[in-house]
Amino acid sequence: MITSNQRLSRRGLLGGALGLTAGVGALSACGPGDGGGSGDEPPEDMGSAEEGRLVVWGGLPPEMGPQALVDAFTAKYPDIEVEYVRFVNNAEGILKLDTALQGGVPIDVFFSYGTVDVVRRAQAGLALDLTDLAREDDLAQVFVQDEPISTLIDGKLYSIPTTHWPQFVVLNQDAMESAGIEIPFDWTVEDYHRVAREFKSAGFDVGAYHPPRMASTSLGGDYIYKNGGQESNLDDPLFKQELELILAMEDDGSIFTQERITAEQLGGYVQNYFVDGTFPMYIDGTTALRFLKNLDEYPHDFRTTFRPYPAPTAGADYFNPGVRGDDVQISSKSQYPSAAWTFVKFWIDEGANHMSPAGKVSPYQFDNPTDEMMDALFGPERDRLFNVDDFHETFFVPEPPLSVRSITTAYTEIASLKSQIEDEIRLRTKSVDDGIAEMKQEADAAIADWLG
């Protein structure tokens, strides 16, 4: 096995940094970068570390934790007034935040979900450079250490990840036991496929919802790029291997066919089908716990257990496709950046427990788990509903390391065309070879356009 940071550093991040620079250059080419505030003098700090008035935009509904966190914060810092505003984290909500940020709506702290948004907003001058603040802070300096564990832009820190979100496999333990299926913790993609077939044979509609991914787990966060972001990597044999596996799993009933997913619009409601016994296995993160402990809306009587993301091949180093995410940024136009920094640190440290009921685990909670956090994550019936020992063995492990995405050149275009062509391959209207060739060609064209 590997240690996360060593591997990240070796494989992708040096090259990735070059690619990121290229991506950054490309982003700059789309605009001079002086529109969002980077060309302006930073506003005078009207507060102090313990005084100010903040408007915070986040994607979670207030009642799912943010309001409790804000209440706890204002109890500790009575001279900092905080207003939490929710934006829905979809295309419209993201645009709403973007336009609000550049249109002068007073926002001091905002959340960016995903590397693309973090980079875009930082490059547009909308986010404050937190590098120096982090270097001087015991809590945050981990994000500016030599080997990056989350997004850096030109070596600078513009965001703090508030969640540690590895992906893992969620399993119906009762179904496992009654079917006599043993699943080791160091299992592989091949094992995953076998287990899905066994579940199917045991009477489930399909064995699993998700197919396991091989390219992203083998190559890390920047798996769709090569040459530091100058070219797409979609011709890597792992993509073909992954697609062939998906087709094989569809054919033997291990997973839903794409046709059925499309016809029944299953995406986004995966937990419903797990709870009602349509399948006993799916891939998710700690957010799954939010649903599975809620017996009112998701009634079920089986126990849930957990296994790590399967390795592409036995004994090989690999990455977990999850990330340290839910990045929080401070607006470059904030008039209260000191108070905002106090708030950000509170969010990831002592305030994080308020977010645990929503299935969020901060990087600091991950390093220092408490009973309070576990209670909040699993709810009052944790031992009846969950195998918490297996969760410990799955979640609180350093390996495989989390992905770090550092290249974003034409990322959205490539993600979109990749998803479209994968659909066509899964619908059998395009062969794997033709689909991959088309993906590669279009992704390279998108990168070339982006780089100008």
Partner 1 sequence: MTPLIEDTAKPGRAGTDSHDGSAPPSATTKRSSRLVNGYKWWIPWVFLLPTIVAVLAFLIVPLTAGLFIAFTEWNVVSGIGGIRWVGFGNFQELFQDDMFWSSAVRTLFYAGVGTPLAVTCGMFLGLALNRPMPARGVIRAIFFLPSLVNVIAAGTVWLTLLNPRSGMVNQFLRAVGLDNPPGWFTSQQWALPAIVLMSVWVSAGYVAILIIAALQDLPTELYESAKLDGAGTIRQFTTITFPGLVPVLTFLLITSFIGRSQGFGLIQFMTSGGPGDATTVLSYYMYEVGFHWYRFGYAASIGVMSMLAVLALSIALFKLQRGRGLYT
* Site residues for partner 1 per CB under 8 A: 27, 29-37, 39, 91-92, 95, 98-99, 101-103, 120-121, 123-126, 258-260, 262-265, 412-413, 416, 420-421, 423-424, 427, 429-430, 449
User: What's the closest the beta carbon of residue 415 comes to partner 1, in angstroms?
Assistant: 9
- Which CB sits closer to partner 1, 98 or 326? 98
3-state helix, strand, coil in the chain (%, to 5): 45, 15, 40
Minimum distance from CB of 266 to partner 1 (Å)? 12
- H helix intervals, 368-431: 371-378, 382-385, 388-395, 411-426
Cross-strand partners of 324: 164
Which residue number, 10 or 260, has a Cβ lying nearer to partner 1? 260
Length of the chain as a residue count: 452
Strands 168-172 and 281-284: antiparallel
Minimum Å distance from CB 171 to partner 1?
Answer: 27
Residue closer to partner 1 (CB basis): 119 or 134:
119
**Nearest residue (CB) to partner 1, 120 versus 303:** 120
Half-sphere exposure of residue 199, counting CA atoms within 13 Å on the CB side?
31
> Which of 342, 379, 376, 344 minimizes the C-alpha distance to 361?
376
Least distance CB 89 / partner 1 (angstroms)? 14
Least distance (Å) between residue 217 CB and partner 1: 25
Pick the closer one to partner 1 by CB: 121 or 307. 121
CB of 323 vs partner 1, minimal distance in Å: 20
Q: Answer for the pair 144, 134: CB distance below 8 angstroms, yes or no.
A: yes
Is residue 147 a contact partner of residue 5, using CB atoms and an 8 Å limit? yes
CB of 44: closest distance to partner 1 in angstroms?
21
Q: Which is nearer to partner 1, 36 or 359 (CB)?
A: 36
Q: What sign has the CA pseudo-torsion 96, 97, 103, 105? A: positive
Q: Is the bond preceding residue 363 a cis peptide, omega within 30 degrees?
A: no
**CB nearer partner 1, residue 31 or residue 398:** 31
Assess contact for 140 and 160: CB atoms under 8 A: yes
Contacts 24+ apart (CB under 8 A), 88-92: 88/59, 89/59, 89/113
List the beta bridge partners of residue 80.
52
Of 119 and 373, nearer to partner 1 (C-beta) is 119
Q: How far is the CB of 414 from partner 1 (least distance, A)?
A: 10
> Which helix (H) or strand (E) covers residue 201, if one does?
helix 189-201
